[in-house]
Amino acid sequence: MALVHETLILLLLTFSTWCFSTSISTNSSTTTSLAKLPNATTAKPKRLVTKLIHQRSVHHPHYNQSETAKERIELDIQHSIARVTYLHARIEGTMAANDHRTQLSPSSSGRTIMANISVGQPPTPQLVVMDTASEIFWIMCNPCSNCDQHLGQLFDPSKSSTYTQLCRTPCGFRGCNCHPLDRSPFSITYADNSSASGTLAYETLVFETSDEGSIQIPNIEFGCGRDIVYNNDPGYNGILGLNNAPMSLASQIGHKFSYCIGSLADKSSNYNQLILGEGADLEGYPTHFQALRGMYYITMEGISIGERRLDIAPATFEIKENGAGGVIIDTGSTLTYLPDDVQNLLYKEVRNILGGSFRKVIIETYPWLYCHLGVVSRDLVGFPVVTFHFAQGADLALDTGSFFEQLTDSVFCMAIGPVSATGLDNRSSVIGLLAQQSYNVGYDLVNQIVYFQRIDCQLLSG
């Protein structure tokens, strides 16, 4: 069978190398106050639900109508590489003794998914990046240097009746003002050298309920960012950290959360959502996670295409003794990255199924990306589901919309890259957002379980 190899030069992006100098320092000596869910009169807690919007959605205030699918995916690829490289740098950082990067927080650039969280009283909605590998919730605060491109209303602590400064010297009573020199600073620097710094404070978060009421969650510790540095339009007002660190919103609100991601290709979808705390949807197939270096590692056991299980040695996905390897589930990367030999094996199988009828396309800038001429929705009807298998029998099933990306009108690519594309050889795999489409993913931080439930997000909303 002669496969015609046709080389199309589609992308001529200059891809700069990413350097990392990243640190977070908070100087809070006071104990973190755990926000309590309000005492509901009924036993069933009300759900703290917030819509999720992706950066290329029509619902995003900076939606750019003239941006093409190709441009969008180029950004996905660039961003995903930067993200995975960044996660690897964090892994490296913890391995070297006394490396300041042990306290890294993740990159925030590129296409990501954002929550709309209302802060303060009166509530001011803020679009913040949902990041399962980040440990702090921060937003831009007035007065602010370099926040000109913030979205919507800039949060102004002086206009909120519920804002309370966090002081280094504990206050005798709530609401007391601390001396500017006594304020607790925070500062965070990301992979692309963007950064945010300011002071730590407490605020009330406000969630709307389906009956047009609202629920207030008081005393949430967060970072009020007053000095922001970034290169490009960030397209967000802050970061919503959801890892298992004490200051993450997941830890502060009930130690549970779940998110439902429908189709990222659907620019007008309005059903993607995040639920925080007790009302989170923890349903479907459970698998244990291990939180290491602020990231959620899950135990991957294999991959199938259709009924056929690929021949992958079980140890391939294990976390190695030196801390390399393992599989991270992440909301910050769009694409998925698997060990090179696994990605190759997967592609070999895909090519067998596609046969000679699809011409191969080489993308000059990303030669590792496996692409063919064709249209996913038209030509790949009946292509078998690709299933990632995890411990305890949990599965993540990728249909063609999750496994492939339509790069241009006539070229589609496998949305899975080799870990080596990031320039590192540490073989930590990352499961990105595209692979999590059509799923509700629930996290129980107390019992360390991730739940995968295949569902139409529309059924969960409302």
Q: Contact positions toward ligand NAG, by CB under 6 A?
A: 18-19, 21, 25, 27, 39, 53, 59, 61, 64, 66-67, 71, 95, 116, 118, 125, 127, 168, 185, 192-193, 208, 322, 324, 424-426
**Cβ distance to ligand NAG smaller for residue 327 or 398:** 327
Q: How far is the CB of 349 from ligand NAG (least distance, A)?
A: 27
Check the CA dihedral 446-450-455-456 and report its sign: positive
**Cβ distance to ligand NAG smaller for residue 59 or 267:** 59
Q: Which of 255, 275, 158 lies closest to 209, judged by CA?
A: 275
Q: How far is the CB of 456 from ligand NAG (least distance, A)?
A: 21
Cα 212-112-25 angle, rounded to 5 deg: 95
- Label residues 143-163 b or e (16+ Cβ within 10 Å = b): ebeebeebbeebbebeebebb
**Cβ distance to ligand NAG smaller for residue 102 or 448:** 102
Q: How far is the CB of 439 from ligand NAG (least distance, A)?
A: 22
Q: How far is the CB of 148 from ligand NAG (least distance, A)?
A: 14
Reading phi first (left if > 0) and then psi (alpha if -120 to 50, else beta), residue 129 is in: beta
Using alpha carbons, list the distances in angstroms from residue 274 to 23, 129, 153: 27, 12, 22
**Cβ distance to ligand NAG smaller for residue 120 or 286:** 120
Q: How far is the CB of 56 from ligand NAG (least distance, A)?
A: 11
Q: Which distant-in-sequence residues (6+ apart) come within 8 Å of 108 by Cβ? A: 129, 131, 190, 192, 194, 234, 236, 239, 332
Pairing of strands 285-292, 295-298: antiparallel
Q: How far is the CB of 358 from ligand NAG (least distance, A)?
A: 28
**Cβ distance to ligand NAG smaller for residue 168 or 288:** 168
**Cβ distance to ligand NAG smaller for residue 22 or 244:** 22
**Cβ distance to ligand NAG smaller for residue 207 or 358:** 207
Helix (H, G, I), strand (E, B) or coil at 458: helix
Asked if residue 349 lies in contact with residue 380, where contact means CB atoms within 8 angstroms, the answer is no
Q: Which of 21, 15, 422, 13 lies closest to 194, judged by CA?
A: 21
Chain centre to alpha carbon of residue 401: 19
Q: How far is the CB of 229 from ligand NAG (least distance, A)?
A: 10
